[in-house]
Amino acid sequence: MESLSFSFHDTTFHALASGALWWPSRQSLLVADLHLGKSERIARRGGSALPPYETRDTLSRLARDLQSVDARSVICLGDSFDDSAACAALNPEDRQTLSAFQKAREWVWITGNHDPALPGIDGRAVPEMELDNLHLRHIALPGARGEISAHYHPKAAIRTRARRITRPAFLMDADRLILPAYGTYTGGLYSHDPALSQLMGPEAEAILTGHPVLRLPMPRAELV
């Protein structure tokens, strides 16, 4: 399991290459913005047809992470489903996979703007939660301290001698930690976008997912 260890508010975390966050002292795995059922939601609303395999792919990656860390609890930081109807329409095979994940584990769904309601799904749904003086929610709040959130699907771009690299990224400053989107069809917002560059403090860092996991100052300018 490739990961990068770091400290946030005196707590050790591991940023996994997949975009999940491992919290060793609590044996908890945190994931953000799964957006399960996105292809179904787009088709239902008359959009372009996408291959309907993103839920299976996302759950397959989650299975590998769960096996790697042997998590006792899983906390999903909102927008776990692309909308509440997608949650209700989850196919039996994927629902069974989720149920298998949840056996002998605490499972918390923090609700998001896409999934304020989670019909017919196991686990505990809450709007936000506090653990060890850290505040977990879907969307970052201005002025928050010790906050772990999601929503923005952050990504970062850097240039090496050989090529430009763009990857989903964790963003972290003294007050907040924002997770990248975990879902397969999620896209992302560059760290230099004003929504993120104005939210994050001047000392903010980015931890790029993938291989290898890279930690660097948060890119604040568009690459040309």
In a domain, 123, yes or no: yes
pLDDT of residue 51: 61
Residues 106-139: tens digit of each pLDDT: 999 999 998 998 988 999 999 999 999 999 999 9
Instruction: Identify residue 216 by its one-letter amino acid code.
Output: L
Chain segment 188-197, per-residue pLDDT in tens: 999 999 999 9
Q: How many domains does the chain contain in total?
A: 1
User: What SS3 class is residue 160?
Assistant: coil
Predicted local distance difference test score (pLDDT) of residue 86: 80
Grouping H, G, I as helix, E, B as strand and the rest as coil, residue 136 is strand
Does pLDDT of 187 surpass 90?
no
Q: Which residues are bridge partners to 8 per DSSP? A: 11
pLDDT at residue 83 in the model: 81
pLDDT of residue 205 exceeding 90: yes
Give the range of the structural domain holding residue 35, as residue numbers without chain letter: 3-217
| pLDDT for 185 beyond 60 | yes
Q: Other C-beta atoms within 10 Å of 93: how many?
A: 10
Domain-embedded: residue 62:
yes
Position 224 in a domain:
no
Q: What's the CATH code of the domain at 60? A: 3.60.21
Query: Of the candidates 150, 149, 151, 96, which has an alpha carbon nearest to the alpha carbon of residue 121?
Result: 96
Over residues 142-149, the mean pLDDT reads 96
Res 44: pLDDT: 56
Rounded to two decimals, what is the model's pTM? 0.94
* Alpha carbon distance 9, 63 (integer Å): 28
Residue 108 lies in a domain: yes
pLDDT averaged over every residue in the chain: 92
Residue 138 in any domain: the answer is yes
Q: What digits encode the pLDDT tens for the residues 67-108?
A: 999 899 999 999 999 888 888 888 889 999 999 999 989 999
In a domain, residue 223? The reply is no
* Residue 37's pLDDT band (cuts 50, 70, 90): confident
